[in-house]
Amino acid sequence: MYEQQKRLYLLGWLAGWDSSSHVGGRWYYVSLVSVILFLVIGLVFTRFGSIRLCKDTDQPEFSNFSWFSMLFGAGIGIGILFWSVAEPISYFQGNPFIAENQQLWGWARSK
């Protein structure tokens, strides 16, 4: 029980320190992704990079070009799904005419 409380305290302290830093905690995520990326790239060049996840006699179902095409298509698809919602919302939130109209409505109601 004591160890769990100690870990929770440490995680809470790290989260508070992370969000109160001058960059808003972005350094944590950038460094974490960088470490994972370098770890995965490093694994490719070790003996673990040549391990096959199937039988030695199996051939790939798709060529490299097909795989890159599928990855490209998935990236375009998720971009379309994300921006189809995010772009109109960002336009709505940053619209200067909304605040101006609210002031005019208040002026019109007072007359």
Residue ranges per structural domain of the chain? 66-111
| Predicted TM-score of the model (pTM) | 0.46
Give whole-number Cα distances, 7 to 2, 4, 28, 79, in Å. Answer: 9, 5, 18, 38
Report long-range pairs for 82-91 (Cβ below 8 Å, ≥24 apart).
Answer: none
Each residue's pLDDT expressed in tens, for the chain with a length of 111 residues = 667 788 778 777 766 655 555 555 677 778 889 999 999 999 999 998 888 888 888 888 999 999 999 999 999 999 999 988 888 887 777 666 666 666 666 666 666
